[in-house]
Structure 1
Amino acid sequence: MAIVKPSLAKGTRDFSPAEMLKRNYIFNTLKRVFKKYGYSEIQTPSFENLQTLTGKYGDEGDKLIFKILNSGDYLSKAPVDLLETKSSTKLISHISEKALRYDLTVPFARYVVMHQNDIALPFKRFQIQPVWRADRPQRGRYREFYQCDVDVVGSDSLLNEAEFVLIYQEALQQLGLKDFTIKINNRKILSGIAEVIGKPELIVDMTVAIDKLDKIGLEGVNKELLERGFTLSDVETLKPIILLEGSNAEKLSALESVLATSAIGLKGIAEIKETFDYIAKLDVSQEVLQQYVEVDITLARGLNYYTGCIFEVKTNEVAMGSIGGGGRYDDLTGMFGLQGLTGVGVSFGADRIYDVLEELNLYPQEKGDSTKLLIVNFDKSAETFTLPLLNRLRQANIAVELYPTAAKLKKQMSYADSKGIPFVLLVGEEEVSSGELSLKDMQTGDQVKITASSLLEKLR
């Protein structure tokens, strides 16, 4: 049988022990902040029924869902006419019933509906799990990646939106980031814009197009708007709105004039103002608000289920796409039969944050919970002597290893060095006889004699 050269699927990555320490540093930091604001952790399966996910992300999002083929001869029950026409879109429902989750929000909505009799409202949850998207892999964009979501359902208070701004600010600062922007908009404002130009039925087309401003520029956005049914006059009307500049207050004031005839647009403006008012009442200075928070009318968030305030976070220290985003979704659970339950949530892109911290060298230098001590194995006699000490140290919650075989000392020291183990304990015939053990500091090279009890205290 031919030997197949191993390779990774495109858009996926392996993570070494050193990399996992860094990833867990991110996850643990976020968990601490989430819990501080009253959120509890849940988990959902890695795959869902295809019908649970389909239709929740818009046409473009649906194309990126990884479908799972049915078990067995999945083509046997497929209609012959569809097989002959080779229409994969129409065929998929006959050959695939499951799909890998695209995000954590829709599975969360499904969870809330299924467990509605077991949870107390408002229900505040966070979730840190991988998701999958059949996207084109590129820097900062993977096909398998972790999302760190924090959501609350059953509360329409804009205090939640204000706290999400603070969660972003606190978490990113704890991770060492200093220069980042929390962009905020409101889907009601976008609906109002579509309304005043006389194209309310094209709200989705408009938001999909202007959401790409950073990627394709104004000319590209205008071209896409024209392709989606807007006129040259519409494009000219939208241009000054898309390019709106000034402080947050100036932008909102200008929008109030533009949307004076749109009730829904004015409501969106009022919601952003109320969110800012809550932040101020939480004793957050205006300087902080101006430094980190920006009203951005081009922010559309391509997901169709957002209905109110929407967020996106970008770091200004590294060339990278968004590292977080989210918003309010008033009717998401209604898709699963539970009407009138509003929700709002945001997500942290852990994989992009990982790359940002790596580039900026912001990870702490300590080795975390990795092995703290390696006991060198000279021979069976030394091994027998050190086994009780090994167990005693572990019972004291000290991460310690005994090298499993009596290999050459150079090999064992190289092992400790490669794993970044800070201390090595040498126990030979002399140490067994005297009870005075030899402890070597791998960083300084210093070696001292130490008793077992003193060793325990030092490593603690």
Structure 2
Amino acid sequence: MASKPSIPKGTRDFSPAEVAKRQYIIQTIKNNFEKFGFQPIETPSFENSETLMGKYGEEGDRLIFKILNSGDYLAKANGTHLEAKDSTKLTSSISEKALRYDLTVPFARYVVQHQNEIEFPFKRYQIQPVWRADRPQKGRFREFFQCDADVVGSKSLWQEVELVQLYDTVFTSLGLNGVTVKINNRKILSGIAEVIGASDKLIDFTVALDKLDKIGEDGVKKEMIEKGISEEAIVKVQPLFNFTGSISEKIQKLAQLLTTSEEGLKGVEELRFICDNVTNLGLTTAILDLDVTLARGLNYYTGAIFEVAAPKGVAMGSIGGGGRYDDLTGIFGLKNMSGVGISFGLDRIYLVIEELGLFPETVTASSKALFINYGDQEAFYALQAIKKLRSEGIKVELYPDNAKVGKQFQHADKRNIPFAVIVGGEEMSSNSYSLKNLISGEQIILDFEGLKNALI
């Protein structure tokens, strides 16, 4: 007996209703991207390994799906590494390609490769799947879509201001009111590390700090000590674990904490500019918050860092994030190309909207009417009307088989199709249509114009 087929953990099949809801989110995001002047691009689902490896830190590199070389991949494997069973060193000789981990690094590669064709500043958006060899859990998948918007070729902080507005506009359009757009600055984190004498441990410091909401204050301190950060340094950052007040008050506290760090103070001024202008311009439903523990664990952010939290009361990880990367394209040989971008987590946004019951009923609406099939002549008559109705933008369909009428009505009911159109010999001879409301049971005879108006 054949075993029951299944799919890999961390992946999903999507039903027609689920796809309709996902497309509603994607279309809403896409429409707003284009309102803000972003243009679409697409890149391959897999890249050369050297393009991706080393760009996300040690934790990120471990989560990259590697693709085995075609053919007898072991024939070209390094014998020493194979004998020693050293998988880390062996990988490079048996795998030259990898599935993309995000859309940002492939975008940087795209910019460098096509720099002579691009008009800068270049505002691009990209909506494609990415893959991560992560442990699956609620809201975390191994295959998921990212929806990114980036601007490269400009150092202007007005871009950050606009990206906060873009978050606000998209989530307001989706009915997700009350999301929190958290902001921090990598220069501030570097300044703090400098002030406490742990500049050489910046990445370890920021990776640990970024986990505050997941493992708590004690967990963060424990990880910092394990990474070699002194207890004296940890005492100096104690104020960060309970950093409260308005945005302006927090900025003032940071300015006092970082008086001896030039880079830290530069980060404070950048934050002040962004937050002041966002506040003065106003947000529709989103809330802006300065979160000094926000330290997204990626190596390439150099300025502002963003993360979006779902409305209060919804237990979900971040539903968006991004930041400024002044030297991302430098890793591919193109210097002085500053960029800033944000990402929307489609799958988590879907779960939040579903949990809050915010999907409009029209999103999953099926065909408006099913034409009952009484035979070939009747089917042809029906299809003539169907063709004209579809040209008017009305969703209608013909049951394909001349099956029992009861079965056809049952099919319409299971598909949540609200109307059935009956076209038998009598209707054909009078050039009319019988329209039956499958909810109320009411049935009326109409000419084509009447049918069209009833189904609009």
TM-score (norm: length of structure 1): 0.96
Encode CA deviations 1:100-123: one digit per residue, 9 max, x unaligned: 100000011111111111111100
Amino acid at match of 2:62: K
Q: What residue number does 2:296 align with?
A: 301
Q: What residue number does 2:72 align with?
A: 73
**Which stretch of the first structure deviates more once superposed, 129-138 or 401-410?**
401-410
Aligned mates of 1:56, 1:186 — CA distance in 2: 19
Instruction: Choose from 331, 340, 349 the match for 2:336.
Output: 340
| Secondary structure at the counterpart of residue 183 of structure 1 | strand
Q: What residue number does 2:86 align with?
A: 87
Encode CA deviations 1:24-80: one digit per residue, 9 max, x unaligned: 110011111111111111111111111100011000000000000000010011121
Aligned mates of 1:42, 1:340 — CA distance in 2: 22
Deviation at 1:423, TM superposition (A): 2.0
Instruction: Choose from 397, 400, 406 the match for 1:401.
Output: 397
Aligned mates of 1:443, 1:162 — CA distance in 2: 50
Instruction: Choose from 287, 306, 328 the match for 1:311.
Output: 306
Amino acid at match of 2:289: E
Percent of pairs with identical residues: 56
Deviation at 1:367, TM superposition (A): 4.5
Aligned mates of 2:5, 2:357 — CA distance in 1: 31
Structure 1 position 371 matched with structure 2 position 386: no
Deviation at 1:174, TM superposition (A): 1.3
Q: What residue number does 1:6 align with?
A: 5
Q: What residue number does 1:275 align with?
A: 274
Contact 2:24–2:363 (CA under 8 A) maintained in structure 1: no
**Which stretch of the first structure deviates more once superposed, 142-151 or 386-395?**
386-395
Deviation at 1:272, TM superposition (A): 0.7
**Which stretch of the first structure deviates more once superposed, 435-444 or 158-167?**
435-444
Aligned mates of 1:443, 1:265 — CA distance in 2: 65
Structure 1 position 128 matched with structure 2 position 127: yes
Residues 369 and 395 from structure 1, CA distance in 2 versus in 1: closer, same or farther, beyond 3 angstroms?
A: farther
Instruction: Choose from 273, 281, 284 the match for 2:282.
Output: 284
Aligned mates of 1:369, 1:155 — CA distance in 2: 43
Which 4+ runs in 1 deviate beyond 6 A? Answer: none
| Secondary structure at the counterpart of residue 309 of structure 2 | strand
Q: What residue number does 1:98 align with?
A: 97
Deviation at 1:433, TM superposition (A): 2.0
TM-score (norm: length of structure 2): 0.97
Structure 1 position 411 matched with structure 2 position 407: yes
Contact 1:179–1:317 (CA under 8 A) maintained in structure 2: no
Q: What residue number does 1:211 align with?
A: 210
Deviation at 1:435, TM superposition (A): 2.1
Amino acid at match of 1:333: T
Q: What residue number does 2:320 align with?
A: 324
Aligned mates of 1:38, 1:369 — CA distance in 2: 31
| Secondary structure at the counterpart of residue 270 of structure 2 | helix
Deviation at 1:159, TM superposition (A): 0.7
Instruction: Choose from 382, 388, 392 the match for 2:388.
Output: 392
Structure 1 position 38 matched with structure 2 position 34: no
| Secondary structure at the counterpart of residue 313 of structure 1 | strand
Deviation at 1:368, TM superposition (A): 5.8
Contact 1:369–1:399 (CA under 8 A) maintained in structure 2: no
Aligned mates of 1:78, 1:386 — CA distance in 2: 64
Aligned mates of 1:255, 1:426 — CA distance in 2: 73
Aligned mates of 1:154, 1:5 — CA distance in 2: 52
Structure 1: where are the runs of 5+ without partners? none
Deviation at 1:424, TM superposition (A): 1.4
**Which stretch of the first structure deviates more once superposed, 443-452 or 262-271?**
443-452
Q: What residue number does 2:56 align with?
A: 57
Amino acid at match of 1:122: P
Aligned mates of 2:338, 2:365 — CA distance in 1: 40
Contact 1:195–1:262 (CA under 8 A) maintained in structure 2: yes
| Secondary structure at the counterpart of residue 96 of structure 2 | strand
Amino acid at match of 1:453: E
Aligned mates of 1:436, 1:265 — CA distance in 2: 77
Contact 1:377–1:407 (CA under 8 A) maintained in structure 2: yes
Q: What residue number does 1:450 align with?
A: 446
Structure 2: where are the runs of 5+ without partners? none
Contact 1:132–1:145 (CA under 8 A) maintained in structure 2: yes
Deviation at 1:241, TM superposition (A): 2.1
Amino acid at match of 1:361: G
Amino acid at match of 1:293: L
Amino acid at match of 2:445: K
Aligned mates of 1:369, 1:158 — CA distance in 2: 42
Deviation at 1:317, TM superposition (A): 3.4
Aligned mates of 1:242, 1:83 — CA distance in 2: 46
Encode CA deviations 1:132-158: one digit per residue, 9 max, x unaligned: 000000000000001110100001111
Within 5 A, what are the aligned runs for 1:345-364?
A: 345-364=341-360
